[in-house]
Amino acid sequence: MTVPHPRLTLTEEVREALHDGRPVVALESTIISHGMPYPQNVEMATQVEEIIRAGGAVPATIAVLHGRPCIGLTPADLELLATSTDVTKASVRDLAYVMARGGHGATTVAGTMRLAALAGISVFVTGGIGGVHRGAPVTFDVSADLTELAATNVAVISAGVKSILDIGLTLETLETLGVPVLGYGTDEFPAFFSRSSGFPSPMRVDSAREIAAVMHARWDLGISGGVSIANPVPEDDEIPASQIDGIIEQAVAEMEKAGISGKEATPYLLGRIVELTNGESLRTNIALVKNNARLGAQVATEYATLR
């Protein structure tokens, strides 16, 4: 049993589940503070936690509140994250700064992975992972999510790389970093809003038990680093690539014209795409997160059995 780091604040529900070796699923908080508008963000966060509980696991939404890394949040905490204008988008590099200043931080994929690992949580559900941004050969804009996947022993379930990124370069980078990329029930790597990206899945798995077996074998060998599981958005909820690609290109062009970059790029693009699709992308985003939560509960349960 991994003993959670003493600087972490765990809810009683999460603490007891970890102590007893029961399945726990980590959830990020950037999607609440910077990824969706209010009140859909709170509704989504609450529903995703309910899905994980219904799947037999314990949800642990992660954030920094009042300078304390929190593993598991109360309804009041979720409301604060969803409505406050004073919440930092916190990747790994930002955690110490937010903590030292006693501030609030909504954790990114990378930040959530690191805190989840410190708590002893091995499965993490998100919407989409970050990656290599378009134009990165010039800007060097590459998400810390990728280097964290190379270093931290957490399995990350997503609907693939966010469509606003360079998916091909992201997959190449993950290969270089030695991160297994598993396509769940698909031979083609999904593209967040769409089931199709035009790139093959590096590896295919067809059950939660297979995913858990890969996690167990990797870490049992002493190989450090995460596992990326790409779970395609349900067919009824997807926005086909032929429809969304032009919208993304328009949003990227507008962002570049406005001079927006760095950690502000993804929130801007996702928000602009919601506008350009008249809310359809938001509905798809919510659907894919819920779909990932269902799989995450299954994987956490299977992995707890193996351990």
State the Cα–Cα distance between residues 186 and 247, nearest whole angstrom: 25
Rounded Cα distance, 194 and 66, in Å: 37
280 is a catalytic site residue: no
For 69, left (φ over 0), alpha (ψ -120 to 50), or beta?
A: beta
Q: From the candidates 49, 79, 162, 238, which is the catalytic residue? A: 162
List 28, 49, 79, 302, catalytic entry? 28
Q: Residue 233 in contact with residue 194, Cβ under 8 Å?
A: yes
- Per DSSP bridges, beta strands 9-10 and 181-184 are unpaired
Structure tokens at 169: 């370069």
55 Cβ contact partners less than 8 Å away, ≥ 6 residues apart: 293, 294, 296, 297, 298, 301
Pairing of strands 68-71, 155-158: unpaired
**Is 162 considered catalytic here?**
yes
Structure tokens at 51: 């899905």
Query: How far is Cα 273 from Cα 267, in angstroms, rounded to an integer?
Result: 10
Task: Please tell me the distance from the alpha carbon of residue 241 to that of residue 154, in angstroms, as a whole number.
Answer: 29
Strand, coil or helix: 154: coil
Q: Which residues are catalytic?
A: 28, 162
